[in-house]
Structure 1
Amino acid sequence: MGTQETKQAQRTVKLGSTGPEVYPLGLGCMGMSGMYGASDDAEGIRTIQTAIDRGVTLIDTGDFYGMGHNELLVGRAIAGRRERVQLSVKFGALRGPDNSWGGVDTRPAAVKNFAAYSLKRLGVDVIDIYRPARLDPAVPIEDTIGAIADLVKAGYVRHIGLSEVGVETLRRAHKVHPIVDLQIEYSLASRGPEADIFPVLKELGISATLYGVLSRGLLSGSKPKGQGDFRAYLPRFTGANREKNEGVVAALQRFAQERRMTPGQLAIAWVLAKQPGFVPVVGSRTVAQLEDALGALGRPLSQEDLAALESLGSISGERYAPEQMRHLDSERR
């Protein structure tokens, strides 16, 4: 490990004005439960444990990832290591036994029910950061945050976060209870939050945990791998968008190679340079992918690098299909 990487690795980032100090990269575990096709439990556990051994402290999961499978996997991986990690848990998405999606439920009674099951599956007494996965249009955000605040008072949750919400929802939620971070997609391919959301986060003293920093593998050259891979239905991976994006990705790969970086490291380093106070959450499914991602910490980009990188072209297509985009509070203008 070089001097720069050591220095970066020792640094921590505080989540909001009231949240915990965390390592500058987090580990997102969704892909370990089949969202990108078949996954390997043993490799997932090794990846989580290697991340912890390398200093990663923020582990992100959701109770609906694999219908509870991901929380059980994370629980097995952190057994005996609980005091070394901060668990970020999303809740509220409804699933069917056929893998279907049934909307969102963040009524206060549902919040407490979801939390009870998460605590049991994870094998812990308290969740560090608890957040609704999406805004429930049928439930005022004040009611949802109030229910999580009750869990904070009772000692079952330490901090409250949000996911994919817009500025009005952020302000309303923060009035009920301090919000430590907003989880939102951000990458070279998805820069929407820069305009309105990031300025409000800074104004309110809220941090961000940034997912999709590789745009679901697009920026590193990864492609959908069969029926179970939900990326096959995403606009950036299909049709004319796919063809145009392959050209941009090839240019990014050449740019990375010139700087002796992998494309994944380049994408992560761009996010770290653009938003140094926020925490990228990388969805590494294997130890090899994790080690590659951690390598970005020792390869900072200069302002000149950023300008050159951003001139290579933009990614075409929305991050989700139109129906899903319509349901994202963060995309409302």
Structure 2
Amino acid sequence: MCGSLMPRPLGDLAEVDPALARRFGWLDTLGLDSAYDYDPVWARCVDLGIAPTFHTGSRRYGLRTSPSNFVYNHIGHFGAASEAVCKALFIGGVTRRFPMLRVAFLEGGVGWAAQLYADLVGHWEKRNRDALEATRPDNLRVDELLALVSRHGDEAIIAAVEARAEQLANPPLDLVGGIADLDDFSACQISDAADIAGLFVDNFFFGCEADDRTNALAFNRSQNHFGLKLKAIFGSDIGHFDVLDMAGVLPEAYELVEDGLIDQADFRRFVFENPARLWAEANPRFFDGTAVEGQVRDLLRADVPTGAGAAH
């Protein structure tokens, strides 16, 4: 299990004011704009057959700092932390550079992951390298704009646009913070939206609690892009305040089947196949000597690599 959202100091603040530096800083998401190059870590994980798992909360940060209400701070905090790191690993190109790396985010559920997966596809379609041409200010046909405004606008709109006509015709092109490559997905080397599936669905696993009805979103092919299922994995949460009786955890998870939200095959994926794949795809011998050694071996033997999420 690994830490994430690593606190980093702001510049030289630690030297100037150590007390202040302990209160203010930034959070390193390990995959994008990081203080360090973590590629050697991911490479070593692959070499050793280790699937890193992240279990970090975010109750102390941002909008989860109520001094009076635990529930306010608690709801969604694991998901928010997981989303930040997962998004950074993806956009930072980690899964492109290390296609065999398997990563799990624990206890935050999979609802946030379903939204992130959809948002990545949607943003790539609007913000890929070619699509950005539609947002270049120097591609604006100013004469046509002025003609349309004159024909359809009221006096206030016409006056406002005409007052900016010179600026529109000669827009500044250096207001991008010195960033040379404006393609935010450049590290992913995506040529088609379907590439996102292979870089997301194959590599990421999502730990879910038994009582979370949004677990069903992982298995909703009609909703998830390209008809795929995300790799939700069952987590018991035994020992926490929300488990009053450990004997009721698995039956509670099975309520998704009883309520018609997932089927028996999806439940098997949830409690066995996806957890087995997390560890065994990283290290095929992980379950050797255990009670499920044979079942895991049969599962891996049955898997046929026919594209992103094909067997899942």
Instruction: Return the TM-score normalized by structure 2.
Output: 0.27
Structure of higher CA gyration radius: 2
Query: Which structure has more strand as a fraction of its residues?
Result: 1
Flag the structure with more relative contact order, 1 or 2, with Cα contacts below 8 A and sequence separation at least 6: 1
Instruction: Return the TM-score normalized by structure 1.
Output: 0.26
